[in-house]
Chain A
Amino acid sequence: MLNIPELEKRWLRYKIKSSIPYAVISLISIIVLIVGANYLLNNSNTIEKTKTTVRVPVEKKSHYVQKETPKKQKVQPRKQEMQTTSNTKTVLKPSMNFLHTIKNEVQTTQVVTLHAKPQTLKKTASVAVVQPKPVKQEVAQTAVKLEKEEVTPNYISIKRRDTKKDIHEIIKRFKKNHNPALSLFVAKKYYELGEYKKAYNYALITNQINQDIEDSWIVFAKSLVKLNQKQKAIKTLKKYIDYSSSSTAQILLNEIQSGKFK
């Protein structure tokens, strides 16, 4: 059952959290707008007024605004790319999404390039750290694509990692998709490694998902024998043979009963 109140709370927290950058950016853009407007207003004022009276404040102001101007120029080309109007607010909006996409680790190249750009607008250190990541991925991806095209030698090779790491990755995947092929794989690997308890557990899980997988019953029974539960193994195998008339299971049963398999 879903815990709705808890979920609602988490959602609210998420909403608040995700609106913070938006609020900050809005605030900055409003300030920029105000300063910009002030600058323009003051500029037109100075033309009419005498130099001596207002000189000092104007200089200060224009100095401050100059700092801002290169930033604005940077924004310009991106605006066009995103096909938005020159309104500062709309330009800034996508960077919100960008924050989400980092979280979700989206790596569709298109999306990444589009969102990666507004980053420059942000001054926080956290963004600067994350920035290189999508770029790397992009490069790696295109590299792979290029290499795919050149068809060369004629042998198959799969890079195998060490078994333990293999198993953990597969367990992770199994938790996601509950594919009995994966749990059986894990059961077999654990059996090979002599971890019979774990082998037993995973074979059991596999049987629960699909009771027609012969291999799984075999690993299950073999693990039981290894765990000194010969009688239980025999009982289980007999049941399975009644149900499936599997010859492989029959052979194993004979071997266990005769003591050939132990």
Chain B
Amino acid sequence: MESIFVNSKEVFLDTVNAKDYIQLDRVSNIYQSLKNSIKKPLKLILLYGRPGTGKSMFLAKLYNDLSASQAIYLYKTPILDEKEFYKTLARDIFNIKYSGELNFTQMMKIIDNANISIENTKEVPVVLLDEAQLYSEALMEKIRLLSDTRAIKFVITLHKTEEEDLIAKEHFQTRIWESIELENASSAELKIYIQKKLMKANCFNTASMFTTPTVNKIHKLTRGNYRDTNKLLYTLFDIYVSYEKNNQYMDINKIPIKYIEMAAIHTGLIDA
């Protein structure tokens, strides 16, 4: 029999996969408003937040949900070369294969020609760009111009660190119509997140180990950051697996603070 701890550990691997998406009230509300924004005649939608707050997850989910009903394209990897960027868009959205170079003016022409047919047939194609902070200033400006044609709608995610607050701020002073911030989870949300994640993988026993005091302790260490929480819990179950191998007695009902702190030390959340 596979150990429940091994299974539980795997739940917290740091991966971005739409099928692992967990619905949390706040997240769902944001998700709904994002979906609505896509329907609105907005051109640029900005999704920003600190590392590990679920931006990539959001895009994956959005792509997954909408791809059946509308034209939507997800670029997880930034296309840094400007001409390459246009070529990719022309190929994916307008089905135009370009073997030579494609510059901005040509791209605008393609859009112009396609625009007429798009307007009266279907919805505007949506382009999801992850890790937008990696795009150059020049390309960012072009993206804005492209979105101004209303022939393509962009949803971009921007990773924000403490030092990068200023960069993010400058984006807000632009004509981005809607900006949505993703934040760390509250303690209550974190509890739902952890338990739902475990239950999704049928780890009911371990899910019930996460009582409110336990989750509060975890929240104190990770500040509710999803990625940090994943890492911490991955290590926590790794510790359980190790102890299990040594046939050490373990209380299934309660997670000792010691284990949590050990995991935090190992993952660097506690500096010791």
Contact = CB atoms under 8 A, between A and B. Distances in A.
A104 B77 CA distance: 31
B262 A7 contact: yes
Interface string A6-26: 011011011101000000000
A148 B133 contact: no
Contact of B166 (A17, A159, A179, A215): A159
Given A7-B266, A106-B223, A144-B165, A152 B173 contact: yes
A125 interface: no
A17 B77 contact: no
Interface in B136-174: 136-137, 140-141, 143-144, 159, 162, 165-167, 169-174
B66 interface: no
A155 to B, nearest CB: 6
A215 B133 contact: no
A222 B199 CA distance: 46
A92 interface: no
A220 B25 CA distance: 43
B269 A177 contact: no
Given A7-B266, A177-B14, A2 B235 contact: yes
B134 interface: yes
A185 B175 contact: no
A109 B174 CA distance: 27
B239 interface: yes
Contacts of B242: 1-2, 4
Interface in A1-55: 1-2, 4, 7-8, 10-11, 13-15, 17
B52 interface: yes
Given A11-B261, A158-B137, A182-B131, A104 B173 contact: no
A104 B221 CA distance: 8
Contacts of B170: 156-159
A185 B130 CA distance: 13
Interface string B255-269: 000100110011001
A141 B77 CA distance: 30
Interface in B240-266: 242-243, 246, 258, 261-262, 265-266
A4 B175 CA distance: 53
Interface residues of A, number: 51
Contacts of A160: 136-137
Nearest to B174: A156
A189 to B, nearest CB: 9
B50 to A, nearest CB: 11
B2 interface: no
Contacts of B272: 10-11, 13-14, 17
Contacts of A182: 131, 134
Contacts of B266: 2, 7
Contacts of B77: 180-181, 184, 213, 215-216
Given A158-B135, A158-B136, A158-B137, 17 more contacts: A2-B239, A4-B242, A7-B262, A11-B265, A14-B261, A14-B270, A106-B223, A137-B162, A147-B173, A148-B169, A155-B144, A155-B174, A157-B137, A170-B134, A173-B159, A185-B134, A213-B77
Interface of B: 14, 51-52, 56, 76-80, 84, 97, 99, 130-131, 133-137, 140-141, 143-144, 159, 162, 165-167, 169-175, 221, 223, 227, 235, 238-239, 242-243, 246, 258, 261-262, 265-266, 269-272
22 contacts: A4-B243, A15-B261, A17-B272, A103-B270, A104-B269, A104-B270, A144-B169, A147-B169, A147-B173, A151-B172, A152-B173, A153-B174, A155-B141, A157-B137, A158-B167, A160-B137, A173-B159, A176-B51, A176-B227, A181-B131, A185-B78, A213-B77
